[in-house]
Structure 1
Amino acid sequence: MTEEEFDAFYHASFSRLVHQLYALTGDYSEAQDVVQEAFVRAWDRRSQFFAADAPEAWIRTVAWRLAVSRWRRARRGWDLLRRNHVEQPVEGPDPDHAALVIALRKLPEAQRQAIVLHHLCDMTVDQIAAEADVPSGTVKARLSRGRAALAKLLGEREGEAEGRRARF
Protein backbone atom coordinates (compact mmCIF):
# COMPACT_ATOMS: atom_id res chain seq x y z
CA MET A 1 0.00 0.00 0.00
CA THR A 2 1.49 3.29 -1.04
CA GLU A 3 1.21 6.56 0.78
CA GLU A 4 -0.93 7.98 -2.04
CA GLU A 5 -3.38 5.07 -1.82
CA PHE A 6 -3.66 5.48 1.93
CA ASP A 7 -4.21 9.24 1.55
CA ALA A 8 -6.93 8.64 -1.02
CA PHE A 9 -8.65 6.15 1.30
CA TYR A 10 -8.35 8.58 4.21
CA HIS A 11 -9.86 11.48 2.27
CA ALA A 12 -12.65 9.34 0.88
CA SER A 13 -13.73 7.82 4.18
CA PHE A 14 -12.73 10.07 7.08
CA SER A 15 -15.81 12.31 7.08
CA ARG A 16 -18.20 9.39 6.65
CA LEU A 17 -16.55 7.47 9.51
CA VAL A 18 -16.60 10.51 11.79
CA HIS A 19 -20.33 10.92 11.18
CA GLN A 20 -20.93 7.24 11.86
CA LEU A 21 -18.95 7.35 15.11
CA TYR A 22 -20.69 10.58 16.05
CA ALA A 23 -23.99 8.74 15.74
CA LEU A 24 -22.62 5.98 17.95
CA THR A 25 -20.95 8.15 20.60
CA GLY A 26 -23.04 11.31 20.56
CA ASP A 27 -19.88 13.43 20.82
CA TYR A 28 -18.50 14.92 17.60
CA SER A 29 -15.06 15.76 19.02
CA GLU A 30 -14.73 12.29 20.48
CA ALA A 31 -15.74 10.80 17.14
CA GLN A 32 -13.07 12.82 15.34
CA ASP A 33 -10.44 11.79 17.89
CA VAL A 34 -11.14 8.07 17.79
CA VAL A 35 -11.40 7.94 13.98
CA GLN A 36 -8.10 9.80 13.71
CA GLU A 37 -6.50 7.42 16.20
CA ALA A 38 -7.85 4.45 14.22
CA PHE A 39 -6.27 5.85 11.05
CA VAL A 40 -2.94 6.25 12.86
CA ARG A 41 -3.11 2.60 13.88
CA ALA A 42 -4.01 1.62 10.33
CA TRP A 43 -1.03 3.60 9.02
CA ASP A 44 1.26 1.69 11.36
CA ARG A 45 -0.13 -1.59 9.92
CA ARG A 46 -0.69 -0.44 6.35
CA SER A 47 1.11 -3.43 4.82
CA GLN A 48 -1.51 -5.79 6.34
CA PHE A 49 -4.30 -3.23 6.49
CA PHE A 50 -5.37 -3.29 2.86
CA ALA A 51 -5.05 -7.05 2.71
CA ALA A 52 -8.24 -7.05 4.79
CA ASP A 53 -11.51 -7.31 2.87
CA ALA A 54 -13.13 -4.21 4.37
CA PRO A 55 -10.63 -1.53 5.47
CA GLU A 56 -13.38 0.97 6.32
CA ALA A 57 -15.06 -1.57 8.59
CA TRP A 58 -11.69 -2.17 10.26
CA ILE A 59 -11.30 1.58 10.94
CA ARG A 60 -14.88 1.81 12.25
CA THR A 61 -14.38 -1.18 14.57
CA VAL A 62 -11.09 0.13 15.94
CA ALA A 63 -12.57 3.61 16.41
CA TRP A 64 -15.61 2.18 18.22
CA ARG A 65 -13.38 0.10 20.52
CA LEU A 66 -11.28 3.18 21.26
CA ALA A 67 -14.42 5.16 22.12
CA VAL A 68 -15.67 2.41 24.43
CA SER A 69 -12.26 2.17 26.08
CA ARG A 70 -12.15 5.93 26.65
CA TRP A 71 -15.68 5.88 28.04
CA ARG A 72 -14.79 3.07 30.47
CA ARG A 73 -11.62 4.85 31.56
CA ALA A 74 -13.57 8.06 32.17
CA ARG A 75 -16.27 6.20 34.09
CA ARG A 76 -13.65 4.52 36.29
CA GLY A 77 -12.11 7.91 36.96
CA TRP A 78 -15.47 9.40 37.95
CA ASP A 79 -16.22 6.41 40.15
CA LEU A 80 -12.86 6.81 41.88
CA LEU A 81 -13.46 10.52 42.40
CA ARG A 82 -16.94 9.89 43.76
CA ARG A 83 -15.69 7.26 46.21
CA ASN A 84 -12.82 9.39 47.49
CA HIS A 85 -14.56 12.76 47.42
CA VAL A 86 -14.77 14.63 50.69
CA GLU A 87 -17.41 17.35 50.67
CA GLN A 88 -15.90 20.66 51.68
CA PRO A 89 -17.95 23.82 51.77
CA VAL A 90 -16.66 26.56 49.53
CA GLU A 91 -17.14 30.17 50.46
CA GLY A 92 -18.39 32.57 47.85
CA PRO A 93 -16.06 35.14 46.37
CA ASP A 94 -15.08 38.08 48.52
CA PRO A 95 -17.05 41.14 47.29
CA ASP A 96 -13.89 43.25 47.24
CA HIS A 97 -12.08 40.65 45.14
CA ALA A 98 -15.01 40.45 42.72
CA ALA A 99 -15.09 44.26 42.44
CA LEU A 100 -11.35 44.34 41.74
CA VAL A 101 -11.67 41.72 38.99
CA ILE A 102 -14.55 43.64 37.39
CA ALA A 103 -12.57 46.89 37.58
CA LEU A 104 -9.46 45.25 36.08
CA ARG A 105 -11.54 44.01 33.16
CA LYS A 106 -12.54 47.58 32.40
CA LEU A 107 -8.92 48.75 32.08
CA PRO A 108 -7.17 48.81 28.70
CA GLU A 109 -5.17 45.64 28.18
CA ALA A 110 -1.75 47.31 28.48
CA GLN A 111 -2.65 48.95 31.81
CA ARG A 112 -4.22 45.74 33.13
CA GLN A 113 -1.09 43.79 32.17
CA ALA A 114 1.20 46.27 33.94
CA ILE A 115 -0.96 46.32 37.09
CA VAL A 116 -1.26 42.54 37.29
CA LEU A 117 2.40 41.83 36.59
CA HIS A 118 3.60 44.46 39.06
CA HIS A 119 1.16 43.97 41.93
CA LEU A 120 0.14 40.33 41.64
CA CYS A 121 3.27 38.77 40.13
CA ASP A 122 5.70 41.01 42.06
CA MET A 123 7.63 41.94 38.93
CA THR A 124 9.75 45.09 38.78
CA VAL A 125 9.15 47.83 36.24
CA ASP A 126 12.26 46.72 34.33
CA GLN A 127 11.10 43.09 34.25
CA ILE A 128 7.68 44.14 32.93
CA ALA A 129 9.33 46.37 30.33
CA ALA A 130 11.49 43.48 29.13
CA GLU A 131 8.53 41.09 28.96
CA ALA A 132 6.23 43.58 27.21
CA ASP A 133 9.09 44.84 24.99
CA VAL A 134 8.45 48.50 25.87
CA PRO A 135 10.54 51.19 27.60
CA SER A 136 10.46 51.39 31.41
CA GLY A 137 8.87 54.82 31.21
CA THR A 138 5.94 53.33 29.30
CA VAL A 139 5.44 50.76 32.03
CA LYS A 140 5.53 53.49 34.69
CA ALA A 141 2.94 55.51 32.76
CA ARG A 142 0.71 52.44 32.37
CA LEU A 143 0.99 51.70 36.09
CA SER A 144 0.16 55.28 37.01
CA ARG A 145 -2.82 55.51 34.64
CA GLY A 146 -4.02 52.04 35.59
CA ARG A 147 -3.90 52.84 39.32
CA ALA A 148 -5.78 56.08 38.77
CA ALA A 149 -8.43 54.33 36.68
CA LEU A 150 -8.76 51.55 39.28
CA ALA A 151 -9.10 54.10 42.09
CA LYS A 152 -11.84 55.86 40.15
CA LEU A 153 -13.65 52.60 39.28
CA LEU A 154 -13.41 51.25 42.82
CA GLY A 155 -14.31 54.65 44.29
CA GLU A 156 -17.46 54.73 42.15
CA ARG A 157 -18.33 51.32 43.52
CA GLU A 158 -17.92 52.57 47.09
CA GLY A 159 -20.09 55.58 46.33
CA GLU A 160 -22.78 53.36 44.82
CA ALA A 161 -22.70 51.04 47.82
CA GLU A 162 -23.02 53.95 50.25
CA GLY A 163 -25.90 55.37 48.21
CA ARG A 164 -27.73 52.05 48.36
CA ARG A 165 -27.20 51.81 52.11
CA ALA A 166 -28.52 55.33 52.61
CA ARG A 167 -31.72 54.54 50.69
CA PHE A 168 -32.56 51.50 52.83
Structure 2
Amino acid sequence: MITQIYQLFFQELVHYAAGMTGDKSSAEDIVQETFLRALEHADVLNDLDKHQCRAWLYKTARNLFIDRVRREAACPERGVKEETEDDLSRIEVMQLCSELPDEERILFLKRYFEGYDSTQLSAMYGIPASTVRYRLSNARRRLRLKYPELK
Protein backbone atom coordinates (compact mmCIF):
# COMPACT_ATOMS: atom_id res chain seq x y z
CA MET A 1 0.00 0.00 0.00
CA ILE A 2 2.78 2.46 0.90
CA THR A 3 4.47 1.83 -2.45
CA GLN A 4 1.25 2.66 -4.25
CA ILE A 5 0.60 5.89 -2.38
CA TYR A 6 4.24 6.86 -2.81
CA GLN A 7 3.97 6.46 -6.58
CA LEU A 8 0.63 8.27 -6.66
CA PHE A 9 1.36 11.21 -4.41
CA PHE A 10 5.12 11.83 -4.11
CA GLN A 11 5.42 14.53 -6.81
CA GLU A 12 2.11 16.10 -5.79
CA LEU A 13 3.28 16.33 -2.16
CA VAL A 14 6.65 17.79 -3.17
CA HIS A 15 4.83 20.51 -5.11
CA TYR A 16 2.53 21.18 -2.14
CA ALA A 17 5.42 21.32 0.34
CA ALA A 18 7.46 23.54 -2.01
CA GLY A 19 4.57 25.98 -1.95
CA MET A 20 4.84 26.14 1.82
CA THR A 21 8.62 26.21 2.15
CA GLY A 22 9.61 28.08 -1.00
CA ASP A 23 12.48 25.63 -1.39
CA LYS A 24 12.42 22.30 -3.25
CA SER A 25 15.11 20.75 -1.07
CA SER A 26 13.22 21.49 2.15
CA ALA A 27 10.02 20.33 0.48
CA GLU A 28 11.60 16.99 -0.40
CA ASP A 29 12.80 16.61 3.20
CA ILE A 30 9.27 17.19 4.47
CA VAL A 31 7.82 14.70 2.00
CA GLN A 32 10.45 12.14 2.96
CA GLU A 33 9.52 12.57 6.62
CA THR A 34 5.86 12.29 5.64
CA PHE A 35 6.43 8.91 4.02
CA LEU A 36 8.49 7.74 6.99
CA ARG A 37 5.48 8.53 9.15
CA ALA A 38 3.31 6.68 6.64
CA LEU A 39 5.51 3.61 7.08
CA GLU A 40 5.12 3.89 10.85
CA HIS A 41 1.33 4.08 10.44
CA ALA A 42 0.95 1.59 7.60
CA ASP A 43 -1.69 -0.31 9.57
CA VAL A 44 -3.88 2.81 9.66
CA LEU A 45 -3.29 3.68 6.00
CA ASN A 46 -4.14 0.14 4.85
CA ASP A 47 -7.69 0.65 6.16
CA LEU A 48 -8.16 3.93 4.24
CA ASP A 49 -9.18 4.44 0.63
CA LYS A 50 -7.01 6.40 -1.82
CA HIS A 51 -8.63 9.78 -1.07
CA GLN A 52 -8.34 9.33 2.67
CA CYS A 53 -4.67 8.34 2.31
CA ARG A 54 -4.06 11.49 0.27
CA ALA A 55 -5.72 13.63 2.95
CA TRP A 56 -3.67 11.90 5.66
CA LEU A 57 -0.45 12.58 3.74
CA TYR A 58 -1.30 16.24 3.16
CA LYS A 59 -2.18 16.78 6.80
CA THR A 60 0.99 15.05 7.95
CA ALA A 61 3.15 17.12 5.56
CA ARG A 62 1.49 20.32 6.77
CA ASN A 63 2.04 19.37 10.43
CA LEU A 64 5.69 18.52 9.76
CA PHE A 65 6.14 21.92 8.08
CA ILE A 66 4.57 23.69 11.07
CA ASP A 67 6.79 21.73 13.46
CA ARG A 68 9.85 22.69 11.41
CA VAL A 69 8.94 26.39 11.42
CA ARG A 70 8.41 26.29 15.17
CA ARG A 71 11.75 24.55 15.72
CA GLU A 72 13.54 27.10 13.55
CA ALA A 73 11.87 29.96 15.39
CA ALA A 74 13.00 28.47 18.69
CA CYS A 75 16.68 28.26 17.60
CA PRO A 76 18.25 31.67 18.21
CA GLU A 77 21.69 30.35 17.19
CA ARG A 78 20.67 30.61 13.52
CA GLY A 79 21.33 34.33 13.79
CA VAL A 80 17.67 35.25 13.69
CA LYS A 81 16.57 37.67 16.37
CA GLU A 82 13.99 36.41 18.82
CA GLU A 83 10.53 37.39 17.83
CA THR A 84 7.97 38.76 20.23
CA GLU A 85 5.01 37.66 18.12
CA ASP A 86 3.83 34.09 18.41
CA ASP A 87 5.06 31.49 15.94
CA LEU A 88 1.70 31.24 14.20
CA SER A 89 2.18 34.63 12.58
CA ARG A 90 5.21 33.28 10.72
CA ILE A 91 3.27 30.17 9.69
CA GLU A 92 0.38 32.28 8.46
CA VAL A 93 2.70 34.46 6.39
CA MET A 94 4.32 31.34 4.90
CA GLN A 95 0.89 30.04 3.93
CA LEU A 96 -0.08 33.40 2.43
CA CYS A 97 3.14 33.35 0.43
CA SER A 98 2.16 30.04 -1.13
CA GLU A 99 -0.31 32.04 -3.25
CA LEU A 100 2.44 34.17 -4.79
CA PRO A 101 4.04 33.28 -8.15
CA ASP A 102 7.13 31.09 -7.66
CA GLU A 103 9.76 33.72 -8.48
CA GLU A 104 8.18 36.26 -6.11
CA ARG A 105 7.56 33.75 -3.31
CA ILE A 106 11.12 32.44 -3.31
CA LEU A 107 12.62 35.94 -3.28
CA PHE A 108 10.14 37.09 -0.60
CA LEU A 109 10.95 34.17 1.70
CA LYS A 110 14.71 34.51 1.18
CA ARG A 111 14.55 38.26 1.82
CA TYR A 112 12.23 38.42 4.81
CA PHE A 113 12.77 35.05 6.49
CA GLU A 114 16.39 34.31 5.72
CA GLY A 115 17.67 37.89 5.75
CA TYR A 116 19.28 38.14 2.30
CA ASP A 117 19.36 41.60 0.72
CA SER A 118 18.61 42.41 -2.91
CA THR A 119 22.29 42.42 -3.89
CA GLN A 120 22.83 38.95 -2.46
CA LEU A 121 19.65 37.65 -4.09
CA SER A 122 20.73 39.22 -7.36
CA ALA A 123 24.01 37.29 -7.27
CA MET A 124 22.27 34.11 -6.14
CA TYR A 125 19.74 34.04 -8.98
CA GLY A 126 21.68 35.88 -11.68
CA ILE A 127 19.16 38.68 -12.09
CA PRO A 128 19.64 42.45 -11.61
CA ALA A 129 19.14 43.80 -8.09
CA SER A 130 16.50 46.17 -9.48
CA THR A 131 14.52 43.14 -10.73
CA VAL A 132 14.77 41.56 -7.28
CA ARG A 133 13.45 44.75 -5.69
CA TYR A 134 10.65 44.97 -8.27
CA ARG A 135 9.57 41.37 -7.62
CA LEU A 136 9.66 41.92 -3.87
CA SER A 137 7.56 45.04 -4.31
CA ASN A 138 5.09 43.07 -6.44
CA ALA A 139 4.90 40.34 -3.81
CA ARG A 140 4.16 42.85 -1.04
CA ARG A 141 1.56 44.56 -3.23
CA ARG A 142 -0.15 41.25 -4.06
CA LEU A 143 -0.29 40.28 -0.40
CA ARG A 144 -1.70 43.70 0.58
CA LEU A 145 -4.36 43.52 -2.16
CA LYS A 146 -5.38 40.00 -1.29
CA TYR A 147 -5.21 40.56 2.48
CA PRO A 148 -5.91 44.24 3.27
CA GLU A 149 -5.79 43.49 6.99
CA LEU A 150 -1.99 43.03 6.62
CA LYS A 151 -1.46 46.78 6.14
What TM-score range do you get, normalising by the shorter chain?
0.3 to 0.5
Q: TM-score, normalised by structure 2?
A: 0.47
Q: TM-score, normalised by structure 1?
A: 0.42
Larger-Rg structure: 1
